[in-house]
Every structure is written in C-alpha cells, then in structure tokens.
Amino acid sequence: MALSDKPVLLTGASGTIGRLLSVKLAELGWTLRLTDVVPLAIPLPQNASFDRVDLEDQQAVNRLAEGCGLILHFGGISTEQSFETVLGPNLRGSFHIYEAARSQKARVVFPSSVHAVGLYERTEILDQDCLLRPDGYYGLSKAYGEMLARLYWDKHAIESVLIRIGSVLPEVPDERILSTWISHNDFVRLIERCAEAQHVGCSVIWGQSNNSRGFWRHDARQKIGWTPLDSSDGQAERVRGKVTDNPVVERYQGGKFIVVDYSRADFPPRSMFPDE
C-alpha cells in the first residue's frame, strides 16, 4: 500500500513548489492536508483541506499530522535571509515536523537544496556522501534538516527522503541552471516514488533532471525506483551567454545566494579541510 493512500500533509502549500505539488498530487487522487503561514495562493484542490498554521506551533503541527503516513515538508524560508529570520521556520519548524512524524510513524520528504553544498566549485562532481558545504544561513538550515533526518532515522526509525533540490522551474533561465534544473514532471514523479517505495531508510536524492552538465551523480534513486526522463540539454542554445558579471557567483554551484553578506576579499579554499 502506498503511503499516499492515507492523508498526506504538505507544508508550504502556498510556495512555488507547494502550489505545484498541491495541484499535481490532487490530480493523482491524493488526499492532501495543506498548510502554510500565509493564505493558500491557489483555489483549493479537490480532496484537499487547508489550515493556516505556523510551523513553530508544535500542537498545531501535531494536529495536522494525525493519521498521516507521509509528510511533505516544503514549509519555511526559501531564500537567503538573516540567521534570526531562518531560525524559527527552518530549524524549529523542521524539528516540530520530525516530532510529529515520530508520533505518527510517518515518512518525511525533506527538501534539502543545492545551497547545502553551494560552496563547491562548479568544476567539482559530487556524490551523495560529500561533505555538506552550505553557502549561507538558508543552506545551513538545509544541512541541519539533513542531520535532523539522520538523527530521527538512527534513533527512532523515521524514514526520510532528502531531496537536494537544484532548480524546480518550467524552463531553464540561465547557463548555471542547465546543471541544476529539474522539470516539473520529473519532480512530481520523484514525489510519487517517495510515497510508493517500500523502504527508503534515510536516502539522499540529487534533485536534477537528466542533464549532461549536472554537478551531481551517485545517489539513492535506484533504491526508490526513480529515473528522471527530462533534460536541460535542449535548452542550452537559448540561454547561451546568460551569466552574471560576478566572479564569485559564476565560480560556485550555489550561484547568487553566495554573495549575500559575502565578506572575503578572495575565494574560499577549494579543499574544505586543507592539510596544514
């Protein structure tokens, strides 16, 4: 039985990805409990309910999660912001989600990000077990979420799929995103597999389509039975030359997020832990 046969909690339903999933998963017949801290930005889909809830309210999160077999946790701050701004929604909010998952023995899909590894240079090809290298406080919150998921798997047997999302967009807007792009259809199919896979443990998936310019390779996609069908390659000519004039932005996988509050006079060392 797929976990989507029970109610599915989707946080961040008014966000860009949340709106996409709300519509597409409802079309698949899922019963959705949608929530966000702001009003729902789309008409309420069939077989869905919506509650305006702050993720920092543990009791409200617990109430929404009751009876759910799957939690799609897309709520929280989604851009580079100050630590104090990110702290409540992304750190405390994720903790509340995992506590709710523990009480319901629910599986969690946690959207990590390219920004959890954003300070790797674009010439580097990363595997799922690479050291995390966040490019700001937002990326740091995603690294925290990955470690939180691992803790709850190791101590409480709560399963998670950690999707290190590149760029979920209808089309590629610039050269960098030729590497990180994941199509809407590939992303929705990935979420389907997160619900249908029999066992996932604590799995890392690189959230990119089948892009020849991709920065990432080995992950757990075979374990959950997902193969991306789309590719950014056919969009390369359209975005040729669409780059910034900032050498830091153009050097690193995380792109523009990196230069927010960037105060080095040079580039970070290529090696994370250089030999003394």
Q: What does residue 174 show for φ and ψ, rounded to 5 degrees?
A: -155, 175
Residue 272 lies in a domain: no
What's the mean pLDDT when you consider all of the chain? 97
Residue 115, amino acid: H
| pLDDT score for 275 | 65
| pLDDT score for 8 | 98
Average pLDDT over residues 2-20: 95
- Reported confidence tier of residue 50, pLDDT bands at 50, 70, 90: very high
Residue 273 lies in a domain: no
Question: Model pTM?
Answer: 0.96
CATH assignment at residue 101: 3.40.50.720
- The active-site residue, picked from 98, 120, 137, 138, is 138
| pLDDT score for 4 | 86
User: What percent of the chain stands above pLDDT 70?
Assistant: 99
Tens-place pLDDT, residues 211-239: 999 999 999 999 999 999 999 999 999 99
- Please give the tally of structural domains in the chain: 1
Domain range enclosing 46: 3-259
Residue 247 lies in a domain: yes
Residue 234 lies in a domain: yes
| pLDDT score for 272 | 79
Tell me, yes or no, if 262 is annotated catalytic: no
Tell me whether residue 52 is exposed, middle or buried, using C-beta atoms within 10 angstroms of its C-beta: 0 to 12, 13 to 18, 19 or more. middle
User: Edge to edge, what strands does the sheet with 70-73 contain?
Assistant: 48-52, 32-36, 8-11, 70-73, 107-113, 160-165, 202-207
Residue 269 lies in a domain: no
Residue 271 lies in a domain: no
DSSP symbol at 252: B
Whole-angstrom distance, CA of residue 199 vs CA of residue 218: 19
Whole-angstrom distance, CA of residue 169 vs CA of residue 167: 6
* Kind and range of the H or E run holding 101: helix 93-104
| pLDDT score for 273 | 81
CA 123 to chain centroid, in Å, comes to 22
| pLDDT score for 1 | 66
CB 110 within 8 A of CB 74: no
> In sequence order, which residues have a C-beta less than 8 Å from that of residue 84 and are 6 or more positions away?
none
| pLDDT score for 274 | 73
Closest to 176 measured CA to CA, from 125, 233, 237, 242: 242
Residue 254 lies in a domain: yes
| pLDDT score for 114 | 98
Whole-angstrom distance, CA of residue 128 vs CA of residue 118: 14
Residue 267 lies in a domain: no
DSSP symbol at 257: G
- Reported confidence tier of residue 154, pLDDT bands at 50, 70, 90: very high
Q: At what angle do helices 93-104 and 58-65 cross, to 10 degrees?
A: 40
